[in-house]
Amino acid sequence: MKWLKWALIIFMAVLVVLGLYLAGSNKTEEYTKTEFLMDTTCSVTFYGKESEAAAEAVFAEVERIDKLMNMYNENSDVSRINCSAENEKIKVSEDTYKVLKTAVEVGSKSDGAFDVTVAPITSLWNFSGEEPRVLDRKEVDEALLFVGFSNLVLSDGNTVKKLNGNTKIDLGGAAKGYAGDCAEKIAKGYNLTGGIIDLGGNIICFGKNPKSKDGKWTVGIQKPFAPTGTYEKTVTISEGCVVTSGTYQRYFEKDGKRYHHIIDPKTGMPKNAEYQSVTVVCESSLLGDCISTAAFVLGKERGEELVKQYEGAVYYE
């Protein structure tokens, strides 16, 4: 019966090796990557077997969107629109067209509080540049003549034309949100159990959070002007987007006064408000991006009404 003893030993050994192998393959692989893209800090944390490959693919996707929508890249769709003449038809990518469609829709629902044609004003303020400056009333009024999304005509075949040659677009309030939706789509094509994507305050959560008992994600709302990672409020969601527009994200100070980057398109000036940030929780990151900026400009009461139309939740800080 010696052979039986040996057969049993070998059988047990195979079971142990197989057990160890399966335990290893089920282990959640966590991968985090951070890069500076779209003029902001972007980071992802993915869980699952293909977490690293997914992160690489997601960053490539964010770069692709940036190339299409960056107003400082002269070959981007945005630059081609900005340089086009009155009534010239410009064919753009499906991506840019989608963003413009949503931006114009939110523009109209927010009574112009969100307006992607705010570029003649934002480029004068130059919040992203090295020497932002305080504008005088006269130059703001002159630039305001070209602001108004009704100057954009969007037609089938992804074409865009401007009714005024001096009108220019700035997708700074929407492109990161769209990149978030695209990033999520790419990530979901990989073998992941879940993940979180943060493109400069546009946060997207999907799948299961392996670090919480119920698989949900808890996202902190940054306390304005406090060190990054200081939270007074958190939101817990299963899946979805948490998007913040805040004065603290981009501003400069001159003579003791703070000038921030969220412009009221009616006045051409930074929106003067008693709150410093607006956070929207909703299904789409593109929508969240547009409506959080809009809700900032609209103020609490009208902002809440707008966000309700999109079945989202909004928090003013």
Per CB under 5 A, residues contacting Mg ion are 173, 289, 293
C-alpha dist (Å) from residue 210 to 21, 26, 39, 233, 251: 21, 12, 30, 22, 37
Give the angle 67-68-69 at the CA atoms, nearest 5°: 100
**Site for ligand AMP contains 219 (CB under 6 A):** no
Chosen residue from 70, 79, 249, 285 binding ligand AMP by CB under 6 A: 249
**Site for ligand AMP contains 38 (CB under 6 A):** no
Q: Judge contact between 76 and 168, C-beta under 8 A.
A: no
Q: Judge contact between 308 and 131, C-beta under 8 A.
A: no
CA 159, CA 87: separation in Å to the nearest integer?
A: 11
Task: Name the closest residue to ligand AMP (Cβ).
Answer: 172
**Cβ closer to ligand AMP: 170 or 198?**
170
The one of ligand AMP, Mg ion, none whose footprint includes residue 260, by CB under 5 to 8 A per kind, is none
As measured in angstroms, the least distance from the Cβ of 293 to ligand AMP is 4
The one of ligand AMP, Mg ion, none whose footprint includes residue 162, by CB under 5 to 8 A per kind, is none
Residues in 288-317 that interact with ligand AMP by CB under 6 A: 289, 293, 297
C-alpha dist (Å) from residue 118 to 122, 150, 218, 316: 6, 12, 34, 23
As measured in angstroms, the least distance from the Cβ of 123 to ligand AMP is 9
C-alpha dist (Å) from residue 169 to 33, 205, 207: 31, 29, 35
The one of ligand AMP, Mg ion, none whose footprint includes residue 277, by CB under 5 to 8 A per kind, is none
**Site for ligand AMP contains 247 (CB under 6 A):** no
As measured in angstroms, the least distance from the Cβ of 203 to ligand AMP is 13
CA 140, CA 148: separation in Å to the nearest integer?
A: 14
CA 107, CA 105: separation in Å to the nearest integer?
A: 5
Size of the site for ligand AMP (CB under 6 A): 19
The one of ligand AMP, Mg ion, none whose footprint includes residue 65, by CB under 5 to 8 A per kind, is none
